[in-house]
Amino acid sequence: MIKRTPMVAGNWKMNGSRSLVESFVNTLNDRPFNGLDVVVCPPVGYLSFFVAECFSVGGQDISDQDNGAHTGDISGEILTELGASYVIVGHSERRENHGESNELVAKKALKALDNNLIPIICVGESLKVREDNKVNEFVGKQLAAVFDTLSSEQLSRCIIAYEPIWAIGTGKTASPEQAQEVHAFIRQTLADNDKSLAEKTRVLYGGSVKPDNASQLFAQPDIDGGLIGGASLKTEDFIAICQAAI
């Protein structure tokens, strides 16, 4: 059994300020987390401030194109030059607000890998899908598009994040059992492609993770850490969540 290094990634979304970056960096620099990968995905303009302090950072989106007339988009090459090592792809807010399809998300994951960025590929269902008992079918389709596009070797460089839409920013966390059930399904789907992939791939949980529910979620066998939204903007909460992951 391969031991997967736990990971906590903070997704600041379109939030933050220069002063928050400074207080965040100063506070976290005093608390090194051995045995845990900590990553911050701030708005892209703040990346360099984190990189200057030797933080691991990621983008929140990447274009599936290399360059050209794509106003407002950001390329893998630029993210890499800014010092990013990771990039979130297929976040439900991108899927919803920008109409990103499963196929486009898969292309973005490929573009990230081409630029030596580790994609954090987000999947997750709406409340309606859950109520209709179609979670595995829905998440399975999201994953299938990625499996159709990436080779096993490429998949082995990816991270998956399960983020049920109904739990994002709502305060309604999936119960540890609900989350574990979908994580186990994701791991089985990985195993169906390649057994060693399933053992190696980190699957993060995201959706209203807070200091008081993080330990129970992270204790589940198939949950390898978290993708944290709101609580990653509160430095002490983020630190408590990181502690819960070790």
* Among residues 146, 155, 198, 228, the one that binds ligand 13P under rule CB under 6 A: 228
Interface residues for ligand 13P in 135-164 (CB under 6 A)?
163
- 193 C-beta neighbours (distance < 10 Å), count: 13
C-beta of residue 31 within 8 angstroms of C-beta of residue 63: no
* Among residues 208, 213, 217, 244, the one that binds ligand 13P under rule CB under 6 A: 208
User: And the tokens for 239?
Assistant: 């630190």
Q: Give the SS3 label for residue 108.
A: helix
Sign of CA dihedral 243, 234, 210, 140: negative
Measuring CA to CA, how many Å separate 188 from each of 105, 136, 141, 185?
A: 21, 11, 14, 5
Which range touches ligand 13P (CB under 6 A), out of 135-143, 175-183, 201-209, 212-220? 201-209
Nearer to ligand 13P, 67 or 217 (CB): 217
Instruction: Kindly state whether residue 201 participates in binding ligand 13P, applying the rule CB under 6 A.
Output: no
* Among residues 174, 207, 223, 242, the one that binds ligand 13P under rule CB under 6 A: 207
C-beta of residue 79 within 8 angstroms of C-beta of residue 87: yes
* Among residues 63, 206, 239, 244, the one that binds ligand 13P under rule CB under 6 A: 206
Instruction: Kindly state whether residue 209 participates in binding ligand 13P, applying the rule CB under 6 A.
Output: yes
Instruction: Kindly state whether residue 225 participates in binding ligand 13P, applying the rule CB under 6 A.
Output: no
Active site residue 163: yes
Active site residue 96: no
